[in-house]
Amino acid sequence: MEQFDVIIVGGGPAGLFAAIMCAEKKQRIAILEKNKSCGRKLLMAGAGKCNITQAGDIHHFLTCYGPNAKFLKHALLSFQNEDLLKFFRKRGLEFMTTEKGKVFPKSLKSQDVLNVLLDECRRRKIEIHYETPVESLQKEEETFYLNTPHGTYQSKVVVVATGGLSYPHTGSTGDGLIWAKSLGHKIIPTKPALTPLKIKNYELVDMSGTSFEDLSYTLWRGGKKIGTYQGDFLLTHTGVSGPGIINNSRFMQSGDVIKCNFVGAESIDEFRSQLTKKLNQGGKTLVKTIVRELNLTKRFADKILELCSIDSELKCAELNKATRQKLLTTLTEYEMEVKELGGYHVAMVTTGGVSLKDIKPKTMESKKVSNLYFVGEVTDIDGDTGGYNIQAAMSMGYIAAQAINTN
């Protein structure tokens, strides 16, 4: 039976960083990793380029984690984006920032970020036990027992950093949620988040690859509007994607309807009124000429005409009221019904997880079981795309380690 001062379960960014920070007190630390290598999901971040964090004021981050953002305030202010970058720069990694504030290593290689973390684990003599899946986690008196196929591990302190359910081929299969539940924690039901949408009876297959900057859309459920959102928007061969969809997918479910304002009209009523006037006064002008003058690509403008069954030679004077109304609606409130959210195999993160009501926000320690900590995506935290989830994972790992080191 192997005994350690601290055992971290899971070798993703949250687990690796928690281990590194715990090692500042030179405790005997082990990471138990079920895969043959650490950081498999980290290597996929930013399409393999690793969008590690976001530039700018850390307070802005608190608008990027959905309804549970407040829980992260202490973690993010304790270990900010600049602190994260300073940690890596000190170890030789340089960064670049895009126009939209995304921060990547200059090499654009996730592997370089992972290498810094693994090198630091080696330097601090942290033991990483690969291919060591934890089958159960129990506590008797003051000691935790972690059963694995290679024997039982023992520790006074355990950090659960097993991730959510997204990208299950990387090893994220919800193990930590099972142990948390067995130890009396409430689990908020999980579902895929940061995921594209599949659309029912999708009419825009041939427009796949068409993108819209800062497109505005409304979300409807059971005939009631439940939200208005805005962001970059991408048509795919099965539905819609892009940050404007992905970041808000946590609020969506099958059967919801999104209504898209393709023309970017600030006031839909005003736009409709002006376009109606233009069409009414158009006379012999072709309808397609007026539609092509809108803020749309020619290809998409022609698709709009096709959806409205408007012939390319139809003149404004020949446009009937019903067809005109369909054109106005298609341009400003085009409806798409959500068939389903992309599954865990394409979702970047998981919404749901260990209830935040059972975790202390200043330490990440369980309120139910002393010396048990939860960090990263195993908790009911999910951030927007753009580096927010890696930042949250490392910030949570940092404050957990600070608490462990002061015990």
- Mean pLDDT across the chain, nearest whole number? 94
Rounded Cα gap, residues 49 and 387, in angstroms? 11
- Give the H or E element holding residue 241: strand 239-241
Measured CA to CA, the distance from residue 393 to residue 407 in angstroms comes to 22
Task: Kindly list the structural domains of the chain, giving each domain's residue range(s) and its CATH number in brackets, ordered by start.
Answer: 2-192+347-406 (3.50.50.60), 196-342 (no CATH)
Dihedral over Cα of 271, 276, 277, 278: its sign: positive
**Residues 327-381 pLDDT 10s:** 999 999 999 999 999 888 887 888 899 999 999 999 999 999 999 999 999 999 9
What pLDDT sits at residue 265?
A: 85
Mean pLDDT of the 40-57 span: 91
Residue 404 in 3-state DSSP?
Answer: helix
For residues 396-400, give the mean pLDDT. Answer: 98
The per-residue pLDDT for 294 is 92
In this structure, the number of other CB atoms found within 10 A of the CB of residue 172 comes to 24
Rg (CA), the chain: 25
Tokens of 381: 């935290």
Q: Grade residue 170 by pLDDT with cuts at 50, 70 and 90.
A: confident
Phi and psi, residue 42, nearest 5°: -60, -40
Residue type, position 293, single letter: E
The pLDDT score that the predictor gives to residue 140 is: 94
Q: CB of 397 within 8 A of CB of 42?
A: no
Phi, psi angle pair for 25, to nearest 5°: -95, 10
Percent of the chain past pLDDT 90, that is, above it, reads 87
- Going by pLDDT thresholds of 50, 70 and 90, the confidence category of residue 1 is confident
pLDDT at residue 42 above 80? yes
Q: What is the pLDDT of residues 112-165, one digit of tens each?
A: 999 999 999 999 999 999 999 999 999 999 999 999 999 999 999 999 999 988
Q: Are strands 197-199 and 239-241 parallel, antiparallel or unpaired?
A: antiparallel
In terms of residues, how long is the chain?
407
- In angstroms, how far is the first alpha carbon of the chain from the final one? 24
What's the pLDDT tens digit per position in 83-108?
A: 999 999 999 999 999 998 999 999 99
- pLDDT over threshold 80, residue 172: no
Indicate whether 313 pLDDT > 90. yes
pLDDT band at 36 (very low <50, low <70, confident <90, very high): very high
How does strand 29-32 pair with strand 2-9?
parallel
- Evaluate whether 156 touches 130 at the Cβ level (below 8 Å): no
Q: How confident is the model at residue 29 (pLDDT cuts 50, 70, 90)?
A: very high
Contact indicator for 359, 367 with CB cutoff of 8 Å: yes
